Structure 1
Amino acid sequence: MLAGADKRDLNSHNHSQFETPTGLTPIIARFYLYSIFKNLRFSDPFLILYFLDLRLSYTEIGLLMGFQHLITVLLEFPSGILADSWGRRRATALCFVFYTLSFIGLGATDLRGVIPLFAWLSGCLTFFGLGEAMRTGSHKAIMLDYLDSTSQAELATQLIGRTRAASKYSSGAAAICGGILLTATRDYSWLFYLSAAAAICGFFLMLTYPRELEGDAFRARQSQADKGEPKVEGFRSMWRQSGFLAILVQSILFESQTKIALKYFTQPFLKVGLQLFGVAIVAPLGVSGIAASGALWVGLSEFVRDGLGGFGARLSATYEQWAGNRFFALNQIFTCGFVAVTCLAFCNWNLQWGLFPGLLLLFGLTILQNMRRPIFVSTLNTKMPKTRRASVLSLESFIRAVTVAALLPVIGIAADAFGLVAVWAICAVILSFGFIFRLDANSLATPTDEPHA
């Protein structure tokens, strides 16, 4: 059983529903620390720029990142089932081991000897893909399981929103620190080594999680008393629930396209835009001042964007309450995201005037993405069997990763042929299919829970 401090009623109107009079409960504090260590990736805001600095084309970068997602795809759903049966705590700890190996390898790229560059990078991204496969779904399932065990399932959006905010604030801090470090050293390797150090801390943190958070299926296997509904029948009943397919498809489309736009092509967008103003990301020796400050501007941009992402995550519970209906809230966010991506395509026609409006749109899209995710997870939580949470969340992430893996090489080829405008145009077209799967807001409404007009 969970410790007494973690079982107390968190529905009181104290400063925070996840605090005791002496501070955060031990388990909630660990959730925050996990979010921090997972996102202290100092190299993330500069990874694509690093590849471009290695003289890779957008097509080659698309193939590399598509390969990483393919590795994740192949193990995504099996890893969720493994986490449910072997233990979510163990699976999440293992993901940090793979992250560490990946970051150390990327940092040591110049020491690869006779190994071809593309093969070396593929190996490093293989470890990262393995880490992503072990992580996705597992920790969210741990948090949802904790809320159930303390009779607080209704606080899912709030807890996920707050921990996601901590993730974004940590990413922002890592981005600005990474920008300062890269500007000072002009060496990408230190960014990867610092990221590896944070991953090692995450591994040791997971070892401190109590065994009670391994998951219901793990505990049932340990006691040999699993009398719940069969796995196959549980999944069948889940797919028959009203709105489940629409929730899943809309999420996959939104998350995959915003990930492509925000994670993989924001950096090239900034690099091309800054070059038009004579600013280099990593300037040659002898160049100083504004002309050598590109890495700092990229870090600052990521810092602001991650800060806004944290704000969006914290705003999710408030927006959900205002909307009065989770389906209505998800529909509105999806529509706004489609408009933002479409406008970004127009900004890329001429970055001399479109750079700053494009940045504002990227900031807005970041808020929408992070505001939406906690609402989606808490909505999906009402539609899936409790013992299969990691499996279902991994299924959603699996299909999303398939989409990203398939599209990245294609979008890379299009970017090489037509420029970055093709990236946003393709993402907008794909997002438009999501309107076919608009969620029926009335299906969740109650007499006192009507969506706003």
Structure 2
Amino acid sequence: MIFRFSLYGFLKNQKYYEPFILLAFLQMGLTYTLIGLLIAFRELMVNLMEIPSGAIADVWGRRRSMIVSFFAYILHFSLVGTAGTFALNGLISFPLLIVLLFVSMLFFAVGDAFRTGTHKAMIFTWLRLQGRSDAKTEVYGYTRSWSQIGSAVSVLIACCFVYFSRSYVQIFYFSIIPYVINIINFMGYPKELDGEGNEDANLGRILAHIKESFTGIFQKKSLRRLILESMGYEGFFKSIKDYLQPILQQAALPVIAVFFAGISMNQEQQSVILIGPVYFLLYALSASASKQSHKLVKKTGSEDSSAKILWLGMLVLMAVLIPGMYFNIYWIMISGFVAYYVLQNLWTPVLISRFDAHSSEAQGATVMSIQSQSKSIATMVIAPLAGLAVDFMKVHHIGLSEFWPVPVIGFIISGLFLISSNNRK
């Protein structure tokens, strides 16, 4: 089963659009503020569907939920690709484009809501059935490393596709293929990984399951703390991680002037010059970090101690990025984002293991969905604020780069959690 779990992660992360998604929206004519609102809407929809979807997975069956999730993702890819293609060819108006993008985000939210938490719960159920619950950080970190390897492979494929197609938008269609293959992969999962649910799912039972899970979480102080930490660390990361793309696009210009002066390339092709190698390195390092996260836990003595070190790492990194971004020092900006991806992939296996240690088997997918929902709430707030701040700095020419408010937000968040952690101790 570890092979199938790893294959799921590898195929799930064949997101050929991901290294270019912000650039694709900018190519369609969206501002950073509009992009932030689009992300906020997506997270709001995920937020509304997250808990019911987790409960449905626990009660109705986790394998079925995963299949529904990937069908919704496929609809999202199809709609974004079609809307973007029509917009670039002048076949639809800008307001209609925005409407279609918001509808596509609704499908993405369905996919995310039915997936997040569900597959993690399946892994932890399998470990319990195998009598290997003490290896959850190691096994989850290993399977997550294959997700990052999948991302590293996908960025090379995506860069080739963008270079030869000269378009960011068409790549959404290409992303459908691995998701179809993953649906086939789910069909081979054993039935016992569905959890303790049965075929008699009904609305009353699902609502009762949600109430029971929420009561359990908010009566437990340790779970409340984990929810807040998830909002701070993962919500911020999800809000700002794609700002690396326009930074790389800008940084590519001097590189091209020196090394590719005699080659004629459009803007899309130019962006590939740095996005390809940087994202490949980023995902390769992230895969290693995820795989080795259990060693950090062993060295520090506990998941909680590891989490405190990772909060400190984020604080220091943001402190370095603030002047680096203000003065538009590309090597600091790029290396800082790469380091932040590595920290994030050390953080996630540690956080998930902490959640699993404080929740029951029967409520596994629901608790993980609540964790994911909390991250969505934070993203829903941070993404549009970051977009507004970046647009404001760009319009008023404050700083040599408009992106410097982003690490300021991260510095404040990490500082607050470190202070509260010390107070708790």
- TM, length-normalised to structure 2: 0.88
Quick one: which of 57, 61, 64 aligns to 2:38? Answer: 64
Structure 1 residue 192 displacement after superposition:
1.1
Structure 2: segments with no counterpart, 5+ residues: 394-401
> Which residue pairs with 2:340 in the alignment?
365
Q: Percent identity?
A: 25
Distance across 2 between alignment mates of 1:426 and 1:231: 33
- Does the CA-based 8 Å contact 2:23-2:168 persist in structure 1? no
> Which residue pairs with 1:48 in the alignment?
22
More helix by share: 2
Distance across 2 between alignment mates of 1:198 and 1:233: 36
- Does the CA-based 8 Å contact 2:251-2:330 persist in structure 1? yes
CA offsets 1:47-75 (integer angstroms, 9 cap, x no match): 10111112211111111111111111110
Aligned AA (1:176): L
Describe how 1:45-444 pairs up with structure 2 within 5 A: 45-108=19-82, 109-111=84-86, 113-114=91-92, 116-218=96-198, 232=211, 235-241=214-220, 243-262=222-241, 264-275=242-253, 287-288=264-265, 292-351=269-328, 354-418=329-393, 419-438=402-421
Distance 1:230-1:178 versus aligned 2 partners, 3 A rule: closer
Higher mean alpha-carbon deviation, 432-441 vs 387-396, is at 432-441
Structure 1 residue 362 displacement after superposition:
1.5
Aligned AA (1:44): E
Distance 1:107-1:80 versus aligned 2 partners, 3 A rule: same
Distance 1:209-1:436 versus aligned 2 partners, 3 A rule: same
Structure 1 residue 237 displacement after superposition:
4.5
- Does the CA-based 8 Å contact 2:52-2:210 persist in structure 1? no
> Which residue pairs with 2:399 in the alignment?
none
- Does the CA-based 8 Å contact 1:158-1:314 persist in structure 2? yes
Structure 1 residue 238 displacement after superposition:
4.5
Distance 1:243-1:271 versus aligned 2 partners, 3 A rule: same
- Does the CA-based 8 Å contact 1:331-1:439 persist in structure 2? no
Aligned AA (2:225): A
Distance 1:103-1:233 versus aligned 2 partners, 3 A rule: closer
- Does the CA-based 8 Å contact 2:217-2:224 persist in structure 1? no
- Does the CA-based 8 Å contact 1:234-1:385 persist in structure 2? no
Report the secondary structure of 1:302's partner residue.
helix
Structure 1 residue 200 displacement after superposition:
1.1
Structure 1 residue 341 displacement after superposition:
2.2
Higher mean alpha-carbon deviation, 186-195 vs 61-70, is at 186-195
Structure 1 residue 234 displacement after superposition:
5.8
- Does the CA-based 8 Å contact 1:325-1:441 persist in structure 2? no
CA offsets 1:413-443 (integer angstroms, 9 cap, x no match): 111001211122123223322224428998x
How many positions carry a matched residue from both structures?
Answer: 404
Higher mean alpha-carbon deviation, 248-257 vs 288-297, is at 288-297
Structure 1 segments (4+ residues) deviating >6 Å: 439-442
- Does the CA-based 8 Å contact 1:278-1:291 persist in structure 2? no
CA offsets 1:120-153 (integer angstroms, 9 cap, x no match): 2112222112111111100000000111111111
- Does the CA-based 8 Å contact 1:327-1:440 persist in structure 2? no
- Does the CA-based 8 Å contact 1:43-1:188 persist in structure 2? yes
- TM, length-normalised to structure 1: 0.83
Distance 1:412-1:291 versus aligned 2 partners, 3 A rule: closer
> Which residue pairs with 1:18 in the alignment?
none
Distance across 2 between alignment mates of 1:271 and 1:177: 18
Distance across 2 between alignment mates of 1:292 and 1:31: 35
> Which residue pairs with 2:396 in the alignment?
none
Distance across 2 between alignment mates of 1:291 and 1:196: 21
- Does the CA-based 8 Å contact 1:58-1:416 persist in structure 2? yes
Distance across 2 between alignment mates of 1:121 and 1:270: 25
Aligned AA (1:428): F
- Does the CA-based 8 Å contact 1:182-1:188 persist in structure 2? yes
CA offsets 1:246-286 (integer angstroms, 9 cap, x no match): 22212220111122232x3111222233346667xxx9xx8
Across the aligned residues of Structure 1 and Structure 2, the Cα RMSD in angstroms comes to 2.7
Distance across 2 between alignment mates of 1:141 and 1:258: 23
Distance across 1 between alignment mates of 2:126 and 2:69: 20
Report the secondary structure of 1:386's partner residue.
coil
Distance across 2 between alignment mates of 1:424 and 1:430: 10
Distance across 1 between alignment mates of 2:220 and 2:419: 18
